[in-house]
Amino acid sequence: MRRAKDQTRSFFSDEVVRSLLRCPDCRKPLSSRGSGYDCAKCGRDVPSVNGVGRFVDAQNYADSFGFQWRRYSRTQLDSDEVRDSEHHFRIKTGFEPQDLDGKLVLDVGCGMGRFAEVATRWGARVVGVDLSAAAEVAARNLANRDFLALQADVFHLPFELESFDCIYSLGVLHHTPDCEAAVKVLPQFLKPGGTLAVWLYSGYNKWYRFTDIYRKYTHRMSAPTLHRLLSVAVPVLYHLDRGLRIVPVVGKPVAGLIHHIFPVNRQPDPEARILDTFDWYSPKYQSKHTYEQVFRWFESCGLEDLHVAETPIAVRGRKPDVRTTDPQRSAILSASLSS
């Protein structure tokens, strides 16, 4: 397997980027310049901020993720000793290294780049998009990889149709205003025979019913304020849980009740506990889904050979190996522009 971190020359030359990018407004090719991109037809100007093309406003509903990934810029990155992100990538996509080696891959909602790091290590050439400024963190973390980061909206992706061999989105699309619509946007950017894999929050387990009440208030808090609150609450609740569980007879049931009413992440790493709890309580949007729903979405987009991965709700599907005709392409563009 090719190790991307040893590469010295990026796949994403100016020529490749120009052939890949399209104006999200009029769908015409973009011209690159020293400080970003521009569209000769509609005049759209796309600035480059810290080396990342910014196709959206700097401030948007995903701002909490920008705060989160700046604060925890390397917490979830794999190391030679720990491969947690690789494990999650495998069980949520069903991909193996040979599935991505040499492929052009789109990471939708790349965050600070934890899964793009895995994909590039497996030999993939990855484009990562994120609505938040986390795209800048990913660009820094993967500066020596075949990786291109863009700050863009999943509903207005700036790419040529049928460009990518694989697309994945893990734990992201349920944080958009319309998860179904977000999923259905993606297949048009797959090459014939390409694969889409998504992982979404499960709607089967109702343990989160109390968190839905709390989230009515927490998502309105500023990210720094919520983070300060959780930096106190998470350690207190975690150690209370640990302490109660050693009390004979009543300890475990009481600990379980407290965790049900005040759910916080219970993994061993203190920093990761706060990060994952913040990730749950901070987003403006958070939906939960079933396999039945996601299968219907995939099938309505013409995807086939559907599979579920090892953890709910993870679904993978393949685009039929038939290239879109020009009339079909025009229809897809029109539908994309009108949505």
Q: Residue 203 burial (CB < 10 Å; 0-12/13-18/19+)?
A: middle
- 178 and 224 belong to one structural domain: no
Query: Which residues on adjacent β-strands are paired with residue 52?
Result: 49
Listed range (13-17, 87-91, 164-168, 222-226) with the worst mean pLDDT: 13-17
pTM of the model: 0.92
Helix axes 114-121, 84-93, angle to 10 degrees: 80
Give the model's pLDDT for residue 10: 75
- 319 and 271 belong to one structural domain: no
- 188 and 218 belong to one structural domain: no
* CATH number, domain containing residue 181: 3.40.50.150
Q: Tens of pLDDT along 99-113?
A: 999 999 999 999 999
**Residue 282 and residue 219: Cα distance in Å, rounded?**
5
Give the model's pLDDT for residue 13: 87
Residue 289 domain-assigned (yes or no): no
* Ramachandran region, residue 123 (left: φ > 0; alpha: ψ -120 to 50; beta: rest): left
Residue 257: pLDDT band with limits 50, 70, 90: very high
Give the model's pLDDT for residue 337: 43
pLDDT at position 335 over 60: no
Residue 290 domain-assigned (yes or no): no
Number of domains in the chain: 2
- 254 and 329 belong to one structural domain: no
Question: Closest Cα to residue 241, out of 226, 230, 256?
Answer: 256
Q: Tens of pLDDT along 208-227?
A: 889 999 999 999 999 999 99
Query: Which residue range forms the structural domain that includes residue 214?
Result: 209-281
**Residue 254 and residue 92: Cα distance in Å, rounded?**
32
Average pLDDT over residues 91-100: 98
